[in-house]
């Protein structure tokens, strides 16, 4: 190869990451990826964010995808790093986030020489990490031959962007600096287009049924964002005049200030009046839904397959007909041009809509309750806020917030891995520097990934973290209680000083009363750096919705085995 058309494998990957819009990547070093990291550092348009551990780096990459709407990348060493990263990548798979997971790998000579290696299982197996990752990614490749690197890297990146799923790239440690072709001009498209015939037929069928329905309703689902269909869902909402609901894991994808927005459709724990209108509708279009035990409150939501149309990322499913290869965004956009406006469901909702009475604050000395905490958080929200709600009671309280136009909401409801939000808050803050994340994190969840607050401090990011100290795994208490739901208490607020050490600018305090909380919020909002408020909440203080939801989920988990 002549000099001007060559580069190294590591630099090739860096250039492609830059090309698809990344400005940062998350990394933990180890001897199998050090040369690769050297090559990445040579690219001055990409910034390395060094994390405390690989799981958190993976969660940060998840948060970065959510913030930018694009891909992210995370770099780890072999096995000890990779297998620690695995859970976060499984989460990204479940949540449709294109995280590019890159691991250093054994020297290409090791296999040929039957060499036993450190950090491995102590067996002559060099492929197990790729095999394991192949279960939680859309593509998993190992690069051993630098001449193949461009094809393998491009294919993996294209797969991540097209299918909105993570991919795994393993680069042998002696290949990262090996010579390969420079990246050549090409495009990396997102999801492919629909089959035109199928799209047309699906749109016509949907329009025919919806235009004939008496009280049609629209519900937004979680796949809308990953598959680039949020804007077209808004177009459809405007064109149809129907009442609109959001599924809980799609909160924030549809403007909650839209005049036709009813609230969250979540079975018995949904917004008052909303479930009644959806369930009594004669035809409901769900756009990008997932009907799981969690999103349907243990299947207590009355989803009647005979009365719904499901627009999925790649197909449209009618009560007794399916159209394949129809892309969600295209379907919604075309349907918007074909619907007759019909506000019958909205009129019905208005008749039963409940007035929201604002909660009156107590005295400054009143011990803090979850309700008062969330009424204060409600007042903090503006168009540049993003609420990041960890698994736990934060889901139920967070989902009840009324989001102003522009504000966003993040939840990992499909995967629900506690500790996610600390890393995700880091990655989100890096990916969206103009927004101010407000993270709602329970004490139990925080204990899994707490050290990543140190990285938030290290890079001078500015999230506000509410650390909700209710002395236990309260959501589990409501599903099924036992001694395992009590956790060791920590002085959470003091951790910020531990992580600040000599050069950090994190701020923190504890708040046990309403007055202390008001003071703490003022300080946190004006602090030009990360802030953590540890709020002291009674162990039994949880939202009514958690109690109801926990009962339904427990019943669903408790179904007896079918032994014939």
* Interface with ligand DPX (CB under 6 A): 390-393, 416-418, 442-445, 470, 472-476
The two tokens of residue 275 are 């479930």
Minimum Å gap between C-beta 292 and ligand DPX is: 14
Minimum Å gap between C-beta 370 and ligand DPX is: 9
Minimum Å gap between C-beta 545 and ligand DPX is: 12
Contact partner, 101, from ligand DPX, Mg ion, none, Cβ < 5-8 Å per class: none
Show the binding pattern over residues 441-460: x = contacts Mg ion (CB under 5 A), - = does not.
-xxx----------------
Minimum Å gap between C-beta 512 and ligand DPX is: 17
Contact partner, 410, from Mg ion, ligand DPX, none, Cβ < 5-8 Å per class: none
Q: Of 232 and 391, which has the nearer Cβ to ligand DPX? A: 391
Q: Of 110 and 474, which has the nearer Cβ to Mg ion? A: 474
Angle between helix axes 82-94 and 420-431 (nearest 10 degrees) is 80
Minimum Å gap between C-beta 392 and ligand DPX is: 3
Q: Of 273 and 444, which has the nearer Cβ to Mg ion? A: 444
Q: Of 173 and 439, which has the nearer Cβ to ligand DPX? A: 439
Contact criterion met (CB below 8 Å) for 394 and 442: yes
Minimum Å gap between C-beta 420 and ligand DPX is: 8
Minimum Å gap between C-beta 63 and ligand DPX is: 16
Q: Of 344 and 487, which has the nearer Cβ to ligand DPX? A: 487
Q: Of 442 and 530, which has the nearer Cβ to ligand DPX? A: 442
User: 10 Å Cβ neighbour count for 502?
Assistant: 4
CA dist 534 and 510 (Å) reads: 5
Of 287, 112, 296, nearest to 216 by C-alpha is: 287
Q: Phi/psi zone of residue 388: left (φ > 0), alpha (ψ -120 to 50 degrees), beta? A: beta
Of 284, 292, 293, nearest to 311 by C-alpha is: 284
* Run of H or E residues at 465: strand 464-469
CA dist 383 and 322 (Å) reads: 39
Minimum Å gap between C-beta 404 and ligand DPX is: 25
Point out which span in 114-122, 165-173, 406-414, 439-447 binds Mg ion (CB under 5 A).
439-447
Q: Of 42 and 538, which has the nearer Cβ to ligand DPX? A: 538
Minimum Å gap between C-beta 474 and ligand DPX is: 3
Q: Of 349 and 446, which has the nearer Cβ to Mg ion? A: 446
Angle between helix axes 9-19 and 34-41 (nearest 10 degrees) is 50
CA dist 557 and 564 (Å) reads: 20
- Report which residue's Cβ sits closest to ligand DPX: 442
Tell me the β-bridge partners of 438.
387, 464
Q: Of 59 and 227, which has the nearer Cβ to ligand DPX? A: 59
- Report which residue's Cβ sits closest to Mg ion: 442
Minimum Å gap between C-beta 492 and Mg ion is: 11
Minimum Å gap between C-beta 71 and ligand DPX is: 24
Of 543, 520, 447, 541, nearest to 489 by C-alpha is: 447
Helices (H) and strands (E) counted in the chain, each on its own, are: 22, 21
Contact partner, 49, from ligand DPX, Mg ion, none, Cβ < 5-8 Å per class: none
Show the binding pattern over residues 183-212: x = contacts Mg ion (CB under 5 A), - = does not.
------------------------------
Q: Of 291 and 490, which has the nearer Cβ to ligand DPX? A: 490
CA dist 363 and 430 (Å) reads: 38
Contact criterion met (CB below 8 Å) for 77 and 31: yes
Encode burial over 228-243: b for 16+ CB neighbours within 10 A, e otherwise.
Answer: bbbebbbebbebbbbb
Contact partner, 59, from Mg ion, ligand DPX, none, Cβ < 5-8 Å per class: none
> Judged by CB under 5 A, how many residues of this single chain contact Mg ion?
5
Q: Which residues in the 350-389 window bind Mg ion by CB under 5 A?
A: none
Look at the block and give the residue holding tokens 């949020």.
Answer: 230
Look at the block and give the residue holding tokens 């499984």.
Answer: 90
CA dist 264 and 71 (Å) reads: 28
Minimum Å gap between C-beta 473 and ligand DPX is: 3
Tell me the β-bridge partners of 410.
388
Minimum Å gap between C-beta 25 and ligand DPX is: 24
* Run of H or E residues at 8: strand 6-8
CA dist 266 and 122 (Å) reads: 48
Contact partner, 150, from ligand DPX, Mg ion, none, Cβ < 5-8 Å per class: none
% helix / strand / coil in the chain, to the nearest 5? Answer: 40, 20, 40
List Cα–Cα distances, 467 to 370, 403, 426, 518, 564, in angstroms: 12, 21, 15, 15, 48
Q: Of 7 and 391, which has the nearer Cβ to Mg ion? A: 391
Q: Of 173 and 441, which has the nearer Cβ to ligand DPX? A: 441
Contact partner, 241, from ligand DPX, Mg ion, none, Cβ < 5-8 Å per class: none
Contact partner, 418, from ligand DPX, Mg ion, none, Cβ < 5-8 Å per class: ligand DPX
**Pairing status of strand 24-27 against strand 6-8:** unpaired
Contact partner, 195, from Mg ion, ligand DPX, none, Cβ < 5-8 Å per class: none
CA dist 436 and 464 (Å) reads: 7
Show the binding pattern over residues 117-156: x = contacts Mg ion (CB under 5 A), - = does not.
----------------------------------------
Residue 309 has φ and ψ, to the nearest 5°, of -115, 130
Show the binding pattern over residues 461-500: x = contacts Mg ion (CB under 5 A), - = does not.
---------x---x--------------------------
Residue 333 has φ and ψ, to the nearest 5°, of -65, -45
Given the rule CB under 5 A, which residues bind Mg ion? Answer: 442-444, 470, 474
């Amino acid at each position: 190869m002549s000099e001007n058309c060559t580069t190294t494998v590591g630099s090739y990957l860096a250039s492609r990451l830059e090309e698809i819009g990344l400005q940062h990547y998350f990394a933990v070093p180890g001897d199998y990826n050090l040369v690769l990291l050297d090559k990445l550092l040579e690219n001055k348009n990409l910034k390395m964010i060094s994390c405390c551990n690989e799981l958190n780096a993976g969660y940060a990459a998840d948060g970065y995808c959510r913030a930018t709407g694009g891909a992210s990348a995370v770099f780890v060493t072999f096995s000890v790093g990779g297998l620690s990263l695995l859970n976060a990548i499984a989460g990204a798979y479940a949540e449709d986030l294109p995280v590019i997971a890159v691991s250093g790998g054994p020297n290409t000579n090791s296999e040929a020489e039957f060499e036993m290696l450190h950090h491995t299982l102590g067996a002559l197996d060099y492929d197990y990490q790729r095999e394991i990752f192949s279960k939680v990614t859309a593509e998993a490749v190992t690069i051993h031959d630098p001449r193949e690197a461009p094809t393998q890297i491009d294919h993996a990146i294209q797969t991540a962007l097209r299918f909105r799923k993570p991919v795994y790239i393993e680069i042998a440690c002696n290949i990262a600096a090996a010579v390969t072709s420079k990246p050549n001009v090409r495009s990396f498209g997102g999801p492919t287009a629909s089959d035109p015939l199928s799209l047309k037929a699906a749109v016509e069928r949907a329009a025919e049924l919806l235009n004939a329905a008496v009280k049609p309703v629209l519900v937004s689902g979680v796949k809308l964002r990953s598959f680039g269909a949020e804007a077209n869902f808004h177009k459809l909402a405007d064109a149809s005049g129907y009442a609109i609901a959001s599924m809980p894991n799609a909160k924030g994808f549809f403007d909650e200030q839209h005049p036709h927005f009813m609230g969250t459709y979540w079975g018995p724990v949904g917004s008052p009046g909303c479930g009644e209108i959806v369930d009594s509708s004669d035809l409901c279009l769900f756009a990008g839904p997932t009907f799981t035990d969690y999103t349907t409150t243990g299947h207590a939501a009355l989803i009647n397959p005979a009365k719904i149309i499901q627009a999925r990322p790649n197909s449209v499913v009618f009560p007794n007909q399916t159209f394949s290869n129809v892309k969600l965004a295209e379907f919604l956009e075309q349907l918007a041009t074909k619907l007759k406006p019909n506000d019958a469901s909205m009129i019905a909702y208005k008749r039963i809509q409940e007035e929201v009475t604002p909660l009156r604050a107590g005295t400054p000395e009143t011990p803090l309750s979850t309700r008062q905490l969330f009424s204060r958080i409600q007042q903090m929200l503006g168009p540049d806020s993003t609420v990041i709600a960890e698994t736990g009671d934060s889901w139920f309280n967070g989902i009840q917030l009324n989001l102003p136009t522009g504000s966003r909401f993040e939840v990992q409801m499909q995967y629900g891995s506690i500790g996610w939000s600390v890393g995700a808050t880091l990655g989100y803050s890096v990916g969206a520097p103009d927004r101010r994340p407000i993270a709602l994190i329970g004490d139990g969840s925080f204990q899994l990934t707490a050290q990543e607050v140190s990285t938030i401090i290290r890079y001078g990011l500015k999230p506000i973290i509410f650390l909700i100290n209710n002395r236990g795994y309260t959501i589990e208490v409501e599903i099924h209680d036992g001694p395992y739901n009590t956790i060791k208490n920590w002085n959470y607020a003091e951790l910020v000083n531990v992580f600040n050490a000599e050069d950090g600018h994190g701020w923190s305090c504890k708040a046990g009363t309403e007055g202390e909380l008001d003071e703490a919020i003022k300080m946190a909002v004006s602090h030009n750096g990360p802030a953590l408020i540890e709020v002291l909440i009674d162990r039994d203080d949880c939202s009514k919705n958690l109690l109801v939801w926990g009962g339904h989920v427990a019943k669903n988990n408790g179904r007896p085995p079918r032994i014939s």
